[in-house]
Amino acid sequence: MCEKSCKEPADFSALAPVLEKYGAVKGGLITVLQKTQDIYGYLSMDAIRYIAAKTGIKPAKIYGVATFYTQFRLKPIGKNLIMLCKGTACHVNGADLIEEAVSEYLGIGDGETTADGVFTLNNVACLGCCSLAPVMMVKGADGDETFGNLTKDSVKAILKEIADREKEVAAG
Ligand code: FES
């Protein structure tokens, strides 16, 4: 169908294998959106339009699905995605206080990104390391880092260290 002459945004080429595998599968849209978010960090309107064009599903329907499920993000995320566990074990061990500390320190709430684009905060369900509760995972350029037994002070120190590292990178 669409050969190289098509005006496809070049950066959506990574979606080709995903669409090939799940694009025509009944109920495959959620998987396509999950994989799209994994690749690009969020679901842009361009990505939604691209998926629509490739699958024949109306953009409004895809948008509706993307906004219905809280797992999907429609805005770009920061360089470091803080996944703060709000699962039962973490909740019992003070996850709310940790969230408070993060919000206080960075000035953002759940689902928000700092103005400098360095951090996004996302509350998530169990990260699978409950013995370390309360826990957060930070997804950054260098991969995922997990931090456990958090306190209000330790979480601020961790965020400061990451912010300092980012400043050094920005300064070259
Ligand atoms: S409840 Fe937080 S890691 Fe399991």
Residue 95 sits in a domain whose CATH number is: 3.40.30.10
pLDDT of residue 3: 40
86 and 52 fall within a common domain? no
**Domain-located, residue 4:** no
Distance CA 151, CA 105 (A): 13
**Where in 40-167 does DSSP place strands (E)?**
80-85, 119-124, 136-140, 143-147
Distance CA 46, CA 112 (A): 21
**Is residue 124 in contact with ligand 1, taking CB distance under 6 Å?**
no
What is the residue with the minimal CA distance to atom 1 of ligand 1? Answer: 87
**Domain-located, residue 1:** no
φ, ψ for residue 27 (rounded to 5)? 75, 10
User: In percent, how much of the chain has pLDDT > 90?
Assistant: 74
Q: Pick the more confident residue, 10 or 63.
A: 63
For the CA of 87, the closest atom of ligand 1 is 1
Domain extent at residue 158: 80-171
pLDDT at 10 over 70: no
**Is residue 65 in contact with ligand 1, taking CB distance under 6 Å?**
no
Lowest mean pLDDT among 24-28, 96-100, 122-126: 24-28
**Is residue 89 in contact with ligand 1, taking CB distance under 6 Å?**
yes
- Which amino acid makes up residue 35? K
> How far away, in angstroms, is 132 Cα from ligand 1 center?
8
**Domain-located, residue 5:** no
pLDDT of residue 11: 76
Decide: 133 and 96 in contact? Cβ < 8 Å. no
pLDDT of residue 141: 82
What is the number of domains present in the chain? 2
pLDDT at 172 over 90: no
**Is residue 146 in contact with ligand 1, taking CB distance under 6 Å?**
no
Residues 76-119 have pLDDT tens digits of 889 999 999 999 999 999 999 999 999 999 999 998 999 999 99
Distance CA 25, CA 32 (A): 10
Per-residue pLDDT band for 21 (boundaries 50, 70, 90) equals very high
Decide: 77 and 114 in contact? Cβ < 8 Å. no
> How far away, in angstroms, is 82 Cα from ligand 1 center?
14
pLDDT at 1 over 60: no
57 and 123 fall within a common domain? no
pLDDT of residue 165: 92
What's the whole-number average pLDDT of the chain?
A: 90
39 and 104 fall within a common domain? no
Q: Which helix (H) or strand (E) holds 10?
A: none
Per-residue pLDDT band for 5 (boundaries 50, 70, 90) equals very low
Distance CA 38, CA 20 (A): 17
